[in-house]
Chains A and B, each alone.
Chain A
Amino acid sequence: MAETSVKTQQAETKPPSPQLENMKKVYKKLKKNKTAMVGGILILFFIIVSIIGPVLTPFDPDAQDYTNRLASPNADNWFGTDHHGRDIFTRIIHGTSITLYIGFSSVLLGSVAGTVIGIVSGYYGKKIDAILMRSMDVLLAFPGILLALAIVSILGGSLQNVIIAVAVFSIPVFARIVRGSTLAVKKLEYVDAVRALGASDFRIIFRHILPNIMSPIIVQATLRMATAILAASGLSFLGLGAQPPTPEWGAILSQGRNYMWDDPHYALFPGLAIVVVVLAFNLFGDGLRDALDPKTKG
């Protein structure tokens, strides 16, 4: 009780922006959602690991030790070692930043492109809308991973190309959501009001519509992180993404599957890492969506 009264007092002295106030409300709702909090904490954990993890690990991720090949998990090698005697725990920790980097940059690329397409499509309507959205439909018609596979096979297998591929198959998802929100917002009176003030289309779109449709974009971006990571790992697993010896999780998993029968730890730990990070983003994204939805009560 004391806490809330302090908060309201602060609010009175310093006029909070509606976004800030809204964020507080969203945070309150999020805090009540246990699974979302677990997801959020896990994401935070992975981010911290990706930053400080590599410094703390005792091994070099690429150091080979043929006297200690395919060791089972033990006190020195917590997750065991691989067929070159490299420490899997170290490799997974080093892979965290790669995984997050791929997920983040592909989602960023996809969401920016998708948002621009969606907002232009929704704002101008008619022919532009028809052309843009039909081409998005074409992209959506392909199963995501198949599309990414096709793009990577055209561009060639590398980390950059995986990012581009995953970004491309995220574009239509963002474009659709943004178009819908734009259609709703552009009919609001304040958009007419700024138009009557002599604002250009560019100004109306980016200054007045975009800030008002951020929440669905943020939710989708979070959920999309999970899909992107999964797709990127999938591509690496198929040998089209990160190339050995990069400690990318999908690539480690792919190598590990050859030893699955005798040394299951090799494939198990990178697989688990992927599952946990994907789950974390999904849980957090779902929670965020519920929290940002004004219809659910906090």
Chain B
Amino acid sequence: MEPSSNIIEVNDLRTSFFTEEAEVKAVDGVSFSVPSGKTLGIVGESGSGKSITSLSIMRLIQEPGQIVGGEINFKSDNLLDKSESEMRRIRGNEISMIFQEPMTSLNPVFTVGDQISEAYRIHQGLSKKQALQKSLEMLELVGIPSPKDRLKRYPHELSGGMRQRVMIAIALACKPELLIADEPTTALDVTIQAQILRLINNLQDELGMSVVLITHDLGVVAETCDYVAVMYAGKIVEYADVQTLFESPKHPYTVGLLSSLPRHDIDQEELQVIKGMVPSPTNMPEGCRFAPRCPFATDLCKEQLPTLDDLEDGNQVRCWVYSDKWDGDPEVNVKDDYGTATSS
């Protein structure tokens, strides 16, 4: 992949929260890039730093959080060098964001039309009337029935799925080049989830934008993403195209995540789980952060943090198993042996 065809490149991004006791490294040296027009999924459980990564890109980290290092190159400009007013021009205009909770992401005292119009009023300086006209077009685009009537409605009069469509309409109003969707379907029920994901996908093709999809739902990833970054405890542990990730996952954590999904092709008494808990960010293990929960962990894993290494197929993984230094069973196959390793 040539660097110029990436809409955004994040290099060694580090975001920390400074509490009275310690510096909490929520995002610790994350690097990834999103090719133009493609979708990158960032997967991880709660507290893995995926939402903080997305907020860092928007430069919306609030006190006591702070971006302490790295680069976010968006169209060859480093966003971390931009002033606040330059960032305001980018937000909602070139990079947009959809939030997790459609129920609370709309201001209860304004109509839907007013709130979509706001994007046009802020970025394009349109008059109220022009903005409303454009808002109407957006409502049509996101597939809201009888949009003319809906324009005058207040958020509490719409269902969750409708509200998320409105949120999408707001986010896409100015035709951004990058859309960051932070768990856009988590608060919706399953049938609506599928509709919303399809809508995002269709609009992506139509508007030619790139998408960063933050989620903890691997099903969503399989359905919508081109590339996937798996995050664990503030670091990316595996980066792969979606096909490879599901067919031959490399990192034990990815394997664990995949095998904990319920399957309908075999009889399962119990679901597989990854034992243990995500380490507390104030008390990170010295070596590999997944080592305390990893069935393959050796002394090396517990002592030294592996690097994110390139594999032959261009994907990346952060695991000692795939390095020359590996001191465990040389014949180990993480994917195939995971089940037996965890049960023993």
Contacts and interface: CB of A to CB of B under 8 A. Distances in A.
Interface in B72-88: 87-88
Nearest to A197: B92
Interface residues of A, number: 22
Contacts of A211: 109-110
Interface in B83-130: 87-93, 96-97, 99-101, 104-111, 118-119, 122-123
B60 interface: yes
A208 B108 CA distance: 9
Nearest to A185: B107
B107 A195 contact: no
Contacts of B122: 197-199, 203
A193 B58 contact: no
Interface stretch (B152-160, B221-229, B254-262, B316-324): B152-160
Q: Is the interface of A mostly helix, strand, loop or mixed?
A: helix
A5 interface: no
Contact of A196 (B92, B106, B123, B156): B92
B152 A198 contact: no
A194 B63 CA distance: 18
A203 B101 CA distance: 22
A196 B154 contact: no
Contacts of B91: 195-198
Interface string B262-276: 000000000000000
B92 A189 contact: no
Nearest to A211: B109
A194 B122 CA distance: 10
A66 interface: no
Given A189-B99, A199-B122, A194 B90 contact: no
B118 A190 contact: no
Q: How large is the interface on B (under 10, 10 to 19, 20 to 34, 35 or more residues)?
A: 35 or more
A18 B99 contact: no
Contact of B104 (A126, A189, A195, A203): A189
Given A208-B107, A212-B108, A196 B118 contact: no
Contacts of B123: 198
B167 interface: yes
A198 B107 contact: no
Given A193-B167, A212-B109, A198 B92 contact: yes
B107 A15 contact: no
Interface string B63-74: 100000000000
B227 to A, nearest CB: 23
Contacts of B111: 17
B63 A193 contact: no
A192 interface: yes
A193 B106 contact: yes
B105 A15 contact: no
A9 interface: no
A232 to B, nearest CB: 34
A8 interface: no
Contacts of A190: 104-108
B63 A198 contact: no
B118 A199 contact: yes
A193 B106 CA distance: 8
A197 B99 CA distance: 11
B178 to A, nearest CB: 12
A189 B167 CA distance: 12
B170 interface: yes
Given A189-B101, A192-B60, A211-B109, A197 B154 contact: no
Contact of A18 (B93, B119, B154): B154
B60 A195 contact: yes
A15 B152 CA distance: 7
Nearest to A186: B62
A177 to B, nearest CB: 19
A125 B99 contact: no
Given A189-B99, A203-B122, A194 B109 contact: no
A188 B58 contact: no
Going nearest first, the 9 A-B pairs with the smallest beta carbon separation are A197-B92, A198-B91, A198-B92, A196-B97, A189-B104, A193-B105, A198-B88, A190-B107, A211-B109
5 contacts: A15-B152, A15-B153, A15-B157, A189-B105, A208-B107
Interface of A: 15, 17-19, 125-126, 188-190, 192-200, 203, 208, 211-212
Interface of B: 58, 60, 63, 87-93, 96-97, 99-101, 104-111, 118-119, 122-123, 152-154, 156-157, 167, 170-171
Given A189-B99, A196-B92, A203-B122, 16 more contacts: A15-B152, A125-B63, A189-B104, A189-B105, A190-B107, A192-B99, A193-B97, A193-B105, A196-B91, A196-B96, A197-B96, A197-B119, A197-B170, A198-B122, A208-B107, A212-B107
